[in-house]
Amino acid sequence: MSGTHPRYLWWNGQQVRWEEATVHVTELGWSTVGAVFEGIRAYWNPETGEAYVFRLREHLERLLRSMRLVRLAPRWGIGELTEAILQLLRDNECREDTYIQPVAYRAAGPKTLSGFAEEAGLYIATRPMPSHLLSGKVVRARVSSWRRISDDIMPPRIKNISNYRNGQLAAMEAQLDGYDQAILLNVQGKVAEAPGACLMLVRDGKLVTPDITQSILESITRDTLLRLARDELGLVIEERPVDRTELYVADEVFLCGTAAEITPIGEIDRYPIGDGHPGPVTRALERLYHDIVRGIDPRRAEWRTPVGLATAVGTRPGDD
């Protein structure tokens, strides 16, 4: 890993040096309007000398679903992409918490609004992303004046880059108003999600979250936490429409996502949530999630893909 970027990325079927992965500036714009991506994490465990990619298959399955919805034809299967990611992590010597981002984009056709071709290009890049799990991080949030896009406008269930402009507007508004995070309502006025993260709340010991028809991403982290809460912690789960004012009277509220991990919210629209600190359910889930993603807790081994760093050679044959 260079001081500013990794040594390699994967691009259209082959691993290339970072400096050699270039396109003409005019390729920017329309080719990325329909681009889709995944955000995947690999967690480093210093005790085992190994990194584990979390729920890799599920992320790649969602990438292929996203490609299908935006009419991009996949050229590589899950097996090929899995091996590409693991080799990339080994060759970039990612011995730290790492973010992995595959991006599929339109590689042919007119550079205009109308007309398209299904030919896809795809690159995979890695970068360090330290975890904030168990750090005590708490954020302040506001309900945004912007509404979440809906399935009949720009389907939010997939990770289309264009969808993120919606969350970006809400995030900028929140930051300019002195908050850390935004919460978007859907067009029906029910709670949807935050920019780049789903939302969960605790009321009377139950874990409540908007269901997947409420203009939210079909989140893998959300699915993970619901399973852990139900199966390992014995919590009652409610997936349903959530009113805005339920946030204000909740015992606990937190965001969740690959980048967000579990991020407790201490205040929403100047209403304190509980005592303003992570509550007991949030803390229990955070500890369990932390231990499972790092392989400290042996449960859910099928969710962890070892990278092979414990036995990997630091350089590739033929490299200087």
pLDDT at 58 over 70: yes
Domain residue ranges of the chain, discontinuous segments joined by +: 8-130, 139-293
- Is residue 85 within 8 A of residue 56, CB to CB? The reply is yes
pLDDT tier at 31 (50, 70, 90 boundaries)? Answer: confident
pLDDT tier at 109 (50, 70, 90 boundaries)? Answer: confident
Q: Region 67-74: what's the mean pLDDT? A: 96
| Domain 139-293, architecture per CATH | Alpha-Beta Barrel (3.20)
pLDDT at 1 over 60: no
pLDDT at 71 over 70: yes
pLDDT at 293 over 60: yes
CATH topology of domain 8-130: D-amino Acid Aminotransferase; Chain A, domain 1 (3.30.470)
Long-range contacts of 160-167 (CB under 8 A, 24+ apart): 160/34, 160/35, 160/36, 160/66, 160/69, 160/70, 161/32, 161/33, 161/35, 161/36, 161/37, 161/103, 162/33, 162/34, 162/35, 164/195, 164/196, 166/195, 167/194, 167/195, 167/196
User: Among 137, 159, 190, 206, which one carries the catalytic annotation?
Assistant: 159
261-282: per-residue pLDDT in tens? Answer: 999 999 999 999 999 999 999 9
159 counts as catalytic: yes
% the chain with pLDDT above 90: 88
Whole-number pLDDT of residue 4: 84
pLDDT at 110 over 80: no
Question: pTM of the full predicted structure?
Answer: 0.94
